[in-house]
Amino acid sequence: MITPIPDLLPQRELVVDFRFGVFFLVGGVAPNPLDIRFKRVKGLSATVKTTPLAEGGQNLYTQRLPDGVEYGNLVLERGLIVGSPLHLEVEAALSLFKFAPSNVVVTLFNDAYVPVSAWFFFKAYPVRWAISDLDAASKGVLVDTLELAYARMQIMRV
C-alpha cells in the first residue's frame, strides 16, 4: 500500500478578484464613501522598456538593456454617481484644464475583508472620461469610465 506524501507547503486560499476598493488620497483626508466603490479596475500593469545594443561582430542577436519602466493607464469603471467629489475633480481637469494629482490605492481584500494586496499609484490624474451609450431599449446601468495616468506604481503585498 502506498502512503501519500503529505503536502509540505501550507494550504493557501485562492485570491479572488471581486473584493476590492479604490481609495483616492487627497491631502490626507479620508476618501468619500461614494468614490471607493467601482465595478471594474483595469490597467494594473508595468513593462520594462529595453534598448537593443548591437555588439561588433555579433550578428546572431543583440543585447537588450533595461531602459526604464512604462505603466499602462489605470481604468476605473462604475455606475454613474450624481454629486461625486471625484467627478468634480475630473470636471475641473477636463473642462478647465486644472489638475490636482492625487495618490490612489487599489486594495484587494480576502473573504474576511482583510487586505491581501494593494497597488499604490503616485500622482494620478485624469486623462480620459467616458460614459456608456444611452439606449432607450436597454435596461442596463449607465457606466462611468475614468482613465488615470500616473507617475509610478508600487505593488504592496500584505
pTM reported for the whole predicted model: 0.79
Least confidently predicted of 25-29, 55-59, 70-74, 114-118: 25-29
For residues 137-149, give the mean pLDDT.
Answer: 92
Tell me, yes or no, whether 3 lies in a domain.
no
- CATH number, domain with residue 107: 2.30.110.20
For 86, list phi and psi in degrees, rounded to 5: -65, -40
Tell me, yes or no, whether 12 lies in a domain.
no
Overall number of domains in the chain: 1
Tell me, yes or no, whether 8 lies in a domain.
no
Tell me, yes or no, whether 95 lies in a domain.
yes
The DSSP bridge pattern shows strands 152-157 and 102-109 to be: unpaired
Who has greater pLDDT, 44 or 3? 44
Tell me, yes or no, whether 38 lies in a domain.
yes
Range of the domain at 143: 20-157
User: For 74-117, how does the pLDDT look when each residue is reduced to its tens digit (9 = 90+)?
Assistant: 999 999 888 888 888 899 999 999 998 989 999 999 888 889 99
Tell me, yes or no, whether 14 lies in a domain.
no
Tell me, yes or no, whether 7 lies in a domain.
no
Give the DSSP letter string of 69-130.
EEEPPEEEEEE--TT-HHHHHHHHHHHH-----EEEEEEEE-TTS-EEEEEEEEEEEEEEEE
